Structure 1
Amino acid sequence: MADQHRSEQFFNPALEENVTFVRPAYFIIAGFIGIPYINYYFVFLFFVYILSVVGNTTVLTVIVLDHTLRGPKYVAVFSLALTDILSSTAVVPKCLDIFMFNHYYISYNECLTFMFVCFTLLAMQCFNLVAMSYDRLMAIMYPLHYQVKVTQKFMINLIVFLWLFAITVNLTIVGLITRLSFCKSVVINSYFCDHGPVYRLGCNDVSPSRVIGVLTTVIMLWVPLAFILATYCCIAYALLKLSTVQERKKAFKTCSGHLSLVTIYFLPISLVFGFGSKMHPNARIINLSLTTIIPPMLNPIIYVFQTQEIKQSFNKLVRKRRQSKIAG
């Protein structure tokens, strides 16, 4: 019994202060409530979601059906497309259910599950871009040894490790939330069970959650961005060493798709995190939601149109489909 009491005190510091520990039955998601003309935004969300699912499913289908797309680069592309589908599906349908059908109440356990899934998938969007940048770095800086240094098995192991790392970090985040007592408000001022708005509702010591929130932002946003920028500095240096402008253009073209993905993901979210405190709360919520849903929609468009191999594979599959219909 003494060990159990000490364990409860460790996870629930409020017990040490003889304060009643409160775990609410539900939270209220209130992020979009009161924003003018918000129903038009929900229609926009719906169409963006459909485009995201269709586009990323197309990329997954092309990679699965075309056996020439089996290089390590496409392991990361496959993982990114899968992550984009899952993240869009985790966020958009739930947002539409909450705000269009007035289902603002979400149970405590469902909220924590929602938080874990969303943050894990958002982290994997960053980590997939890191894996792709590493692949491009090795391909350009070590072209003769690329196939030895970066194999399909290596990339699969890297992606699996990144998934496990993201899952572990976000389980820690959710675990620390369970230590909090919610004796005041249960209204979450966000469009999903966002970590910051949730832990700030705690009545006991929220400093562990605050610290892990800052560390997670650094680990899952700023460190990946710094790594990607460093890789492109190295790539730029390697390109300058090429003898002709034509060779430089050809080498850089292999990075253009990835560089576009990095820009559309990191630029908006960096602006939100960098200047979010100066924004109106409603504007911050809208901008943060856009950084969640727009990249998954644009990623497949960029890869289909800017990656020559996928474009060729897509056109080949379309031609085969047409020929089979004609033959049938």
Structure 2
Amino acid sequence: MSSVHSDSSVNSTFVRPATFFINGFLNVPHAKYYYVFLSLVYAVTVFGNSFIMCVIYLARRLHTAKYIAVFHLAFSDLCGSSALIPKLLDMFLFEHQYISFEDCLTNMFFVFHFMNLQSLTLLSLAYDRLIAICFPLKYHFIITKRFMCLIIAFMWIFSVTIFAVLVGLVTRLSFCGSTVVNSYFCDHGPMHRLGCSDNSIHLMMGRMCFGLLICLPLVLIILSYFCITLVLFKISQNVDRTKAMKTCTSHLLLVAIFYIPLLSNNIAAALTSSIHPNVRIINNSLAQIMPPMLIPIIYTLKTDEVKRSIKDLNKRNKTKITKEENIKYRRKN
């Protein structure tokens, strides 16, 4: 398959392959139709998230702490999809399944890094809703633009540190057997299972990352909505209660779309080994590519502030075009 060479004169068992072979969708029947689907999903993802970012940037009413987090979520979705789908299409449409050791680790880092940023940004939005509903009078003092920017900066530092350690540990694995990665990208789980040296620390690190970066944020989000629910029951007027609940619906949909597929796939993999590898690969890939596509659609259709901002921008553009046409008409006459 791929040549290997020793990188350590001290430890003769430490072997680093020149390349890995990404098995991916090779054994999936009619995979070419899935590639067409992936291309469409990526096109919608790029357009949708770019559109949301442009609307937030151009609409002054959206220059708030909450929409800084939404902008960051759209940016993370766009970068996460760009780290995964184009390389995936290149590998399997043009038969570039061989990937160098360094490129493989880079691919692993960015895919997991941006997935983690999506998870943490959803947590920050849950905190925003918690303060807005439970402490409305203190909201503008607690949730400021500076505070949200600091949270986002912390997310980046935390995520880069965690996944730099994770990727760094993979470089210490010895690959003296197969170099075929049974996934659609350089996934940590299939890669550390290829190692022929002691990989217990990699298994522990992988589980810790999943628990710390996926499960823990979800638990905190559930706890925040539990507190929100308690407060909503204390609101006497149905109109105020409905209004407060409406501000949470779009975020709850995002949480469900992001976490449910990830958790269901991991739970199913842990409980049973009878799932066909092709089904597992398709399910995992859908769990990663669909949320970034759906998130901007949900925010556009379900959030009144965004819809009003889009209408205002549309009116502003029409007014600008009308003024330019009037100026041109006057010049001609």
Q: Shared fold by TM > 0.5?
A: yes
Other-structure match for 1:133: 126
CA distance in structure 1 between the partners assigned to 2:149 and 2:101 by the alignment: 35
Structure 2 equivalent of residue 288 of structure 1: 284
Q: Which runs of 5+ in 2 are unaligned?
A: 1-6, 326-333
Paired position in structure 2 for 1:251: 244
Equivalent in the alignment of 2:329? none
For 2:29 and 2:41, how far apart are their aligned partners in 1?
Answer: 20
Residue 168 in 1 paired to residue 161 in 2?
A: yes
From 213, 217, 220, give the equivalent of 1:224: 217
Show the counterpart of 2:319. 323
Instruction: Map residues 182-201 of structure 1 onto 2, 5 A cutoff.
Output: 182-201=175-194
The normalised TM-score by structure 2 is 0.92
Please give the residue correspondences for 1:49-60 in structure 2 after superposition, counting only pairs within 5 Å: 49-60=42-53
Q: Is residue 22 from structure 1 mapped to residue 15 from structure 2 by the alignment?
A: yes
Q: Specify the alignment match of 1:38 in structure 2.
A: 31
Structure 1: gaps of 5 or more residues: 1-11
Distance in 2 (alpha carbons) for counterparts of 1:321 and 1:92: 34
Instruction: Report the alpha carbon displacement of residue 244 of structure 1 after superposing the two structures with TM.
Output: 1.2
| CA displacement 1:239-298 (0-9 Å, x = unmatched) | 001011111100011111101100111111110011124321111110110111100111
AA matched with 2:41: V
Q: Which moved more, 1:62-71 or 1:220-229?
A: 62-71
Letter paired with 2:124: A
Identity over the aligned pairs, expressed in percent? Answer: 45
The DSSP-based 3-state class of the residue aligned with 1:23 is: strand
SS in 1 for 2:20: strand
- Once superposed, what is the RMSD of the aligned Cα atoms? 1.4
CA deviation map 1:46-70 (0-9, x unaligned): 0010101101101100111112212
TM-score normalised to the size of structure 1?
0.93
**In structure 2, C-alpha distance between the alignment counterparts of 1:41 and 1:220, rounded to whole Å:** 29
Q: Deviations over 1:131-167 (max 9, x none)?
A: 0000000000000111011111001100110111111
CA distance in 1, matches of 2:40, 2:85: 10
What's 2:97 paired with?
A: 104
Number of aligned pairs?
A: 315
Amino acid at match of 1:324: K
Amino acid in structure 2 at the alignment position of 1:136 = R
The 3-state SS of whatever aligns with 2:14 is: coil
Partner of 1:3: none
- 2:197 matched to 1:212? no
Query: What amino acid is aligned across from residue 282 of structure 1 in structure 2?
Result: N
1:69 aligned partner: 62
